[in-house]
Structure 1
Amino acid sequence: MKFFRSLLAKYMLIILLALSIVQIAYFVLALFIMGVAKTEEGINKTRYGEDSNKNVIEEKWHAEANKIKAIELEVVEQLFENWRGKYPEASMFWIGEDGTLLKEVNVKEQLPSEWTPAYTTKFIKERYDGDPFTVIAFLGEDETNGFIVLEIPRLVLNPPLKNVYQQYGTFVFLGVICIIIFFVSISFLFFRGIRKRLLKLQDAMEIRDVDGIPIEMHVKKKDEIGQLELSFNRMVCELRESKNREQKEEQLRRELIANLSHDLRTPLTKVRAQTYSISKEELSDEGKHAVKALETSIVNIDGLIENLMSYTLLMASKYKFEPKETNIIRFVREHMTTWYLVFEKEGFEIDVELNSFEENKWLVDPLWLGRIFDNFFQNVLRHASSGQYIGVKTESTEHHDAFVISDCGKGMNNESNAKGAGIGLSIVDIMVKGMDLEWEITSSASGTIIKIKKQKGLSK
């Protein structure tokens, strides 16, 4: 049963149908031609007997013309009458010895009343092997008695099959053309249906619902394309189930991170308070160093928690984004001021050189941009403290304006006790791209250079 529902079975049925129609048509046509031919052959035999052969007709016409002894009008008329009864389509006429037209029977063309030798020669030449079939015979045994002419249309003397072909050949040709057109039309409709279903399947693959998942198709047939549509629907169902599971897992993950962040910050605050209390006590130098390391670890952990929360919100598109036109030079200068004392306390050499761009107004979210610079500055403190240098400068080229942050540390690939830079840079990447900016980082053993770029000619 599965095979009979397939496209292969349907197309084989079309082929067999076409071949059957052709064979049936040829069989019917052959019967028709044979029937008509036999009918005409029977009519000819009934009408002419065995005298439908041209050679026989010619011999008999000459023989009966030579038998006439008394050359009289009544005798010739009787001869014409006898032949007219046998061949109703025949025409006959008698030309006398002096070239005078003496008698004509069933002649449809206009014959001259006087026949000259030149006209007689012309007539014989035109009728030779032409249509109608023409026989000229002299009366009696003496050529001076004149001659009689018998003319019969060749259609009457043609074989029955030839007559049938001449009469019905056009219909046979048109019938063959119709059969070919019928088969081509059926094949066209068959393949057009397949093409429409495949295009519909393609459209279903490209159309997405609100969740970005293809829409299921309505399956009407159970052939190969129908099975493909069923498989497509199963795939869509699996994708939707997977999407739902992913959304549920994402929701659980966000809730877990939020709860963990809250749960971690509560004891972290207590640890920070206890550390502050301990720092007020009389401690040895080793104790003071341990307390300072503890405070640094607390700050790092707090930064990690903050980064984790920010990254989770950004990935869920829940982090608030409010872009507005900002004087970027003033913003970076003011933001750098908040970090100046921090770097100065750590003994950094600070090199700030902020020159105006051709266009100082950038369409950015100040909170996002501030978070980006905070991450970079924190990374410098964590990973490049050995270099004791930070530079913040502007750069303008033909293609872009940029802020360049550089340090003289041991590079991003160097082992460090401070962890979490990977999440921080991931946050930077998401935020930079979200504000239609670009960034690049170059790091080596002699330091790290970070650029935040805005291409020129782009809309704000």
Structure 2
Amino acid sequence: MNALGVAVGLLAGLVIVLVLYMGLLQRQLRNINRQLDRRLSEGTRQPVSLALINRELNQLTANINKCLKAEENLRLEGIREEKRFKELIANISHDLRTPLTAIRGYQQLMNKTELSDDQRHKLRAAQKRADELGVLIEHFFEYSYLVSAEPVPVLERMNLTNMVTECLAETIAVFEEKSLVVHLESPEPVFAYVDREMTARIVQNLIRNCALHSDGDVEVRILIADHAVISFRNHIRNTVDIDVDRLFERFYTANHSKSRTTGLGLSIVRLLAERQGGRTRASLKDGFLEIIVALPLNT
């Protein structure tokens, strides 16, 4: 009995030690989870620590810290890469804009000299191409900036009808030059919660797209559905080669287009709309192309 009692006592003691040890292991696992939760919720960069001497748990903690360190290195490298990308964009901007400015300067000088009708016609064509190149360059840098910097929109309640009207008034000369008439329809003032600058860029790009590709009057509507809606509708020729599902893609170009564009203008429209919680779509029916931008009515 004495021997049996001793064995039972030792076994009971061993069970108690094991229970305490398991309790300590669970406590340490909860501690690791709390530290990981804190890193996720508070954005801390502290490594995971462990107070219990256990080979497997220590190895697990060491591996977790290695993964966290590798993730942190990737994050820092991403920041450095983004900085290098922005510097590259700035350098390319200078490299492209400088010769374009020189080209325009020489064109202006030539315009002041005596030229034959044929030479003046060719000069006007060259000036038009230089202007188109300037627009493409601006779109390229704007799109690159939006993708890399991801600016946060500052949403405010804004009269969308007034903004569209003002943007159209500012560019009326462009439509008159192409003998286009704009019909604006907005039965009542439409308000939306949007970023003022981003929305202005959306409208300006929609106007530019119509001015470039429309061969008839332009219909602009502002209305309220489940969103605040801006619609630009215009007639175009040779609609067979246009894929409306790809109009908002970067660098998409309809095969028949005489003024070949990269499609960045509409890509910027979609990007800016989505940044504000909106959406875009396009439709083509009976030769009329309609671009629709839906923006949030409420915050």
Q: Check conservation: 2:219, 2:234, Cα contact below 8 A.
A: yes
Q: Paired residue for 2:260, among 381, 396, 418? A: 418
* Structure 2: runs of 5+ lacking an equivalent: none
**In the TM superposition, what is the alpha-carbon distance from 1:274 to its structure 2 partner?**
1.7
* Structure 1: runs of 5+ lacking an equivalent: 1-25, 32-174
1:395, 1:212 → 2: CA distance?
A: 42
1:427, 1:366 → 2: CA distance?
A: 15
When normalised by structure 2's length, the TM-score is 0.77
> Does structure 1 residue 198 correspond to structure 2 residue 34?
no
Q: Which SS does the other structure have where 1:326 is aligned?
A: strand
1:419, 1:27 → 2: CA distance?
A: 97
**In the TM superposition, what is the alpha-carbon distance from 1:246 to its structure 2 partner?**
1.9
**Bigger CA radius of gyration:** 1
1:226-278: CA deviation from partner (whole Å, max 9, x where unpaired) = 21211111122222222222222211211121122123212211211222333
> Does structure 1 residue 251 correspond to structure 2 residue 79?
no
1:59-115: CA deviation from partner (whole Å, max 9, x where unpaired) = xxxxxxxxxxxxxxxxxxxxxxxxxxxxxxxxxxxxxxxxxxxxxxxxxxxxxxxxx
One-letter amino acid of the counterpart of residue 263, structure 1: D
2:150, 2:294 → 1: CA distance?
A: 25
**In the TM superposition, what is the alpha-carbon distance from 1:440 to its structure 2 partner?**
1.6
Q: Check conservation: 1:272, 1:298, Cα contact below 8 A.
A: yes
Q: How does 1:303-382 map to 2 (within 5 A)?
A: 303-315=135-147, 317=149, 323-357=155-189, 360-382=190-212
One-letter amino acid of the counterpart of residue 3, structure 2: V
Q: Which SS does the other structure have where 2:294 is aligned?
A: strand
Q: Which SS does the other structure have where 1:442 is aligned?
A: strand
Q: How does 1:49-60 map to 2 (within 5 A)?
A: none
Q: How does 1:211-230 map to 2 (within 5 A)?
A: 215-220=46-51, 221=53, 223-230=55-62
1:394-422: CA deviation from partner (whole Å, max 9, x where unpaired) = 2333x333111123333436234433323
1:311, 1:429 → 2: CA distance?
A: 11
2:33, 2:5 → 1: CA distance?
A: 50
Q: Which SS does the other structure have where 2:28 is aligned?
A: helix
2:266, 2:2 → 1: CA distance?
A: 85
Q: 1:225 to 1:345 in 2, by over 3 A?
A: same
> Does structure 1 residue 402 correspond to structure 2 residue 225?
no
2:11, 2:267 → 1: CA distance?
A: 68
Q: What does residue 103 of structure 2 align with?
A: 271
1:10-44: CA deviation from partner (whole Å, max 9, x where unpaired) = xxxxxxxxxxxxxxxx661489xxxxxxxxxxxxx
Q: Check conservation: 1:405, 1:450, Cα contact below 8 A.
A: yes
Q: Which SS does the other structure have where 1:391 is aligned?
A: strand
Q: 1:207 to 1:320 in 2, by over 3 A?
A: closer
Q: What does residue 164 of structure 1 align with?
A: none
Q: How does 1:31-430 map to 2 (within 5 A)?
A: 185-208=16-39, 215-220=46-51, 221=53, 223-280=55-112, 281-285=114-118, 287-315=119-147, 317=149, 323-357=155-189, 360-382=190-212, 384-385=213-214, 387-397=215-225, 399-409=226-236, 410=239, 411=242, 412=247, 414-415=254-255, 416=257, 417-422=259-264, 424-430=265-271
Q: Which SS does the other structure have where 2:232 is aligned?
A: strand
Q: 1:208 to 1:408 in 2, by over 3 A?
A: farther
Alignment: residue pair count: 281
Q: 1:317 to 1:27 in 2, by over 3 A?
A: same
Q: Which SS does the other structure have where 1:440 is aligned?
A: strand
2:48, 2:220 → 1: CA distance?
A: 58
**In the TM superposition, what is the alpha-carbon distance from 1:215 to its structure 2 partner?**
3.6
2:42, 2:105 → 1: CA distance?
A: 47
1:211, 1:313 → 2: CA distance?
A: 28
1:450, 1:273 → 2: CA distance?
A: 36
Q: 1:212 to 1:300 in 2, by over 3 A?
A: farther
One-letter amino acid of the counterpart of residue 195, structure 1: Q
Q: What does residue 129 of structure 1 align with?
A: none
Q: Check conservation: 2:28, 2:50, Cα contact below 8 A.
A: no
2:148, 2:110 → 1: CA distance?
A: 41
Q: Paired residue for 2:280, among 417, 420, 440? A: 440
1:346, 1:208 → 2: CA distance?
A: 59
Q: What does residue 28 of structure 1 align with?
A: 3
Q: Specify which structure has the bigger relative contact order, considering alpha-carbon pairs within 8 angstroms and separated by 6 or more residues.
A: 2
2:77, 2:122 → 1: CA distance?
A: 47
Q: 1:291 to 1:213 in 2, by over 3 A?
A: farther
When normalised by structure 1's length, the TM-score is 0.53
Q: Check conservation: 1:407, 1:449, Cα contact below 8 A.
A: yes
Q: Check conservation: 1:300, 1:418, Cα contact below 8 A.
A: no
